[in-house]
A and B are shown apart, each in its own frame.
Chain A
Amino acid sequence: MRPSTAAALTFFEVLAARKTLPQKIVAPVTKNVSTRSPCKFLNHPARPKPAVMVSNEEVLAGLLALNAALYVPLVIAALRRRRQKVNATNLADAFAGLEQALKEAVPGLPAGFTWEEAIARLRSSGVQTKGMEDILKRYEEYRYGGSPLPDLDFHEVVNLANRLGGVTGGSAGGASIGH
Chain B
Amino acid sequence: MGTEVRDKVVAEVSKVVVGREKEIDLLLTCLLARGHVLLEGVPGVSKTLVANAFSKCLGLQFKRVQFTPDILPLDIIGGFIFNLKEREFEFRKGPIFTNILLADEINRAPPKVQSALLEAMQELQVTVEGRTEKLPHPFMVIATQNPLEFEGVYPLPEGQLDRFMVKVNFRYPTEEVEASVLRRNLSSIDVSDVKTVLAAGELDALIKAVDNVKVSDEVLAYLAKVAAATRNEGSLALGASPRAMVQLIHCARAKALLAGRTYVTPDDIKGIANDVLTHRLSIDRAAALKGGPRDTEAILTAILDRVEPPR
A residues neighboring B (CB under 8 Å): 95, 99, 110-117, 140-141, 143-146
Contacts and interface: CB of A to CB of B under 8 A. Distances in A.
A114 B307 contact: no
The number of chain B residues touching the other chain, given as a range, is: 20 to 34
Interface string B263-281: 1111100100000000000
A35 to B, nearest CB: 61
A64 to B, nearest CB: 47
A106 B270 CA distance: 20
B87 interface: no
A111 B303 CA distance: 10
B311 A145 contact: no
A112 B303 CA distance: 8
B308 interface: yes
A48 to B, nearest CB: 63
Contacts of B261: 140, 145
A144 B309 contact: no
A146 B308 contact: no
21 contacts: A95-B311, A99-B311, A111-B306, A111-B307, A112-B304, A112-B305, A112-B309, A114-B265, A114-B267, A116-B267, A117-B267, A140-B263, A143-B310, A144-B219, A144-B266, A144-B310, A145-B214, A145-B216, A145-B261, A145-B262, A146-B263
Nearest to A147: B263
Nearest to A140: B265
Interface of B: 214, 216, 218-219, 261-267, 270, 304-311
Contacts of B311: 95, 99, 114-115, 143
A145 B265 CA distance: 9
B308 A144 contact: no
Nearest to A115: B311
B107 to A, nearest CB: 34
A110 B305 contact: yes
Given A144-B218, A145-B262, 17 more contacts: A99-B311, A112-B305, A112-B307, A112-B308, A112-B309, A114-B267, A114-B270, A116-B265, A117-B267, A140-B263, A143-B310, A144-B216, A144-B219, A144-B263, A144-B264, A144-B265, A145-B216
A111 B305 contact: yes
Contacts of A141: 263
A76 B19 CA distance: 54
A170 B269 CA distance: 26
Contacts of A115: 267, 311
Given A144-B214, A146-B214, A111 B265 contact: no
A113 B309 CA distance: 7
A46 to B, nearest CB: 58
Contacts of A146: 214, 216, 263
A110 B303 CA distance: 10
Nearest to A142: B263
Contacts of B309: 112-114
B285 to A, nearest CB: 27
Given A112-B305, A114-B311, A145 B266 contact: no
A112 B306 contact: yes
A95 B99 CA distance: 45
A99 to B, nearest CB: 5
A146 B263 CA distance: 8
A126 B219 CA distance: 31
Nearest to A98: B311
A103 to B, nearest CB: 10
Contacts of A145: 214, 216, 261-263
Contacts of A110: 305-306
A133 B292 CA distance: 39
A144 B214 CA distance: 8
